[in-house]
Each structure stands twice: as C-alpha cells, then as structure tokens.
Amino acid sequence: QSVLTQPPSVSAAPGQKVTISCSGRSSNIGNNYVSWYQQFPGTAPKLLIYENDKRPSVIPDRFSGSKSGTSATLGITGLQTGDEADYYCGTWDSSLSAGVFGGGTKLTVL
C-alpha cells in the first residue's frame, strides 16, 4: 500500500491527451513539492517534472505538472506510442521524514 495513490493504469489513443492523478495528504503533497518520473521496462526512472510543474530542459512541453491541495496531476498531450511506460509521482512526507512514491501508473497508448 503506497502512501501516494495513483490509478494503476490509464489509456488513450495516439495524439490524444491523458492525465494521471496522484493523491496524498497534507504531510506530503500538501506541504512539499511533487516530482514525476517516467520508467520504461528494464531501465532506470527518468525525471519528468520537479517542484510540481517545472520541466528539465530535455523534457518536451507535451508533459506538464500541476498541484492543488493534496493532489497532483501529470498531463501528457499529443500522445505517442513511445510514451507507453510506467509513471510515478513522488514527494517528501514531513510526518514520516521519508520520501514517498505513488504505486505507479501504466500508460497504454492504444
């Protein structure tokens, strides 16, 4: 049982938009920055979004992040088959004094 809650899977057609939610509580998302990671099978995760809504320079602007209260959302527009991967949200939990991740969401581009 992960501290942060993500849907196990989402799907959409190529070219469409998808959102992935990440739900937490005040001790984690509510009072700390959220990051998002993309992971392809057999490879290390890659940072997509940091500080809720900032993108590293190498990440295309098709990827976006937002946060409201104790929830965060990753958005991906112009879906490509190459976006099929697992996506994780992560943050710090001030009550646990520990890092926490969501359980991960598998994106399928139909």
Q: Which positions touch other proteins (CB under 8 A)?
A: 2, 32-33, 35, 37, 39, 43-47, 50-51, 56, 86, 88, 90-92, 96-104
Nearer to other proteins, 24 or 45 (CB): 45
Minimum Å gap between C-beta 54 and other proteins is 10
Rounded to an integer, what distance in angstroms lies between the CA atom of residue 68 and that of residue 86?
23
Nearer to other proteins, 15 or 28 (CB): 28
Measured from the CB atom, the residue of 83 and 93 that comes closer to other proteins is 93
- The nearest distance, CB 62 to other proteins, in angstroms, is 20
Among residues 4, 48, 49, 51, the alpha carbon closest in space to that of 32 is found at: 51
Rounded to whole angstroms, the Cα distance separating 77 from 5 reads: 22
Burial string for 48-67 (b: 16+ CB within 10 Å, else e) reads bbbebeebeeebeeebbbeb
- Rounded least distance, CB 57 to other proteins, Å: 11
- In whole angstroms, how close is the CB of 51 to other proteins at the nearest point? 7
What the block records as the tokens of 44 is 């290390």
